[in-house]
Amino acid sequence: MLQSIRVPLLANRRWLPALVCLLVLFVSTASVAIGHPFALGVIPMLLIGVPVGVAFRRGDIDRVGRLYFVHLAALLVFVVLRDAADETGQRVFIHYPQIVDRWLGLGELPTVRLQTAWYAREQPAWHDYLMLIAYAGHFLSIWIVAFYLWLFRVATFATYMVASAISYLIALPIHFALPTAPPWFASHQGAGKPVARVLFEVGRGISPVAYDTGMQLSGNDVAAVPSLHMAVAWMIVLSLWRHGLLSRAVAVLYAATMLWSIIYGGEHYLVDAVAGMLLAQLAWMLAPIVAWRTRMPTV
Q: What pLDDT is stored for residue 7 in this prediction?
A: 39
| Mean pLDDT of the residues in the chain | 80
Is 47 among the domain residues? yes
Q: How many CA atoms lie within 13 A of 180 on its CB side?
A: 24
What are the helix (H) ranges across the chain?
A: 2-11, 16-33, 39-58, 61-82, 95-104, 110-118, 126-152, 154-177, 183-188, 198-206, 208-217, 228-240, 245-264, 270-293
Is 298 among the domain residues? no
pLDDT in tens, 82-121: 877 666 667 888 889 999 999 988 889 999 999 999 998 8
Choose between 247 and 56: higher pLDDT.
247
| Range from 112-121, 222-231, 255-264 that averages highest in pLDDT | 255-264
pLDDT in tens, 125-150: 888 888 888 887 787 888 888 988 88
What per-residue string of b and e applies to 9-31 under the rule 16 or more CB within 10 Å gives b? eeeebeebbeebbebbbebbbeb
pLDDT in tens, 190-221: 888 889 898 888 877 766 665 665 566 666 77
Is 299 among the domain residues? no
Would the pLDDT of 12 be above 50?
no
Q: What pLDDT is stored for residue 203 in this prediction?
A: 74
Q: What pLDDT is stored for residue 39 in this prediction?
A: 57
Closest by Cα among 72, 80, 70, 47 to 287: 70
Is 198 among the domain residues? yes
Binning pLDDT at 50, 70 and 90, where does residue 15 land?
low
- Looking at the 3D structure of the chain, how many domains does it have? 1
Q: What pLDDT is stored for residue 18 in this prediction?
A: 53
**Would you say 167 and 73 are in contact if contact means Cβ atoms under 8 Å apart?**
no
Is 50 among the domain residues? yes
- Quick one: average pLDDT of 173-200? 88
Q: What pLDDT is stored for residue 118 in this prediction?
A: 92
Is 12 among the domain residues? yes
296: alpha, beta or left, given left = phi > 0 and alpha = psi -120 to 50?
beta
pLDDT in tens, 43-72: 677 777 777 777 777 777 777 888 888 888
93: containing domain:
2-293
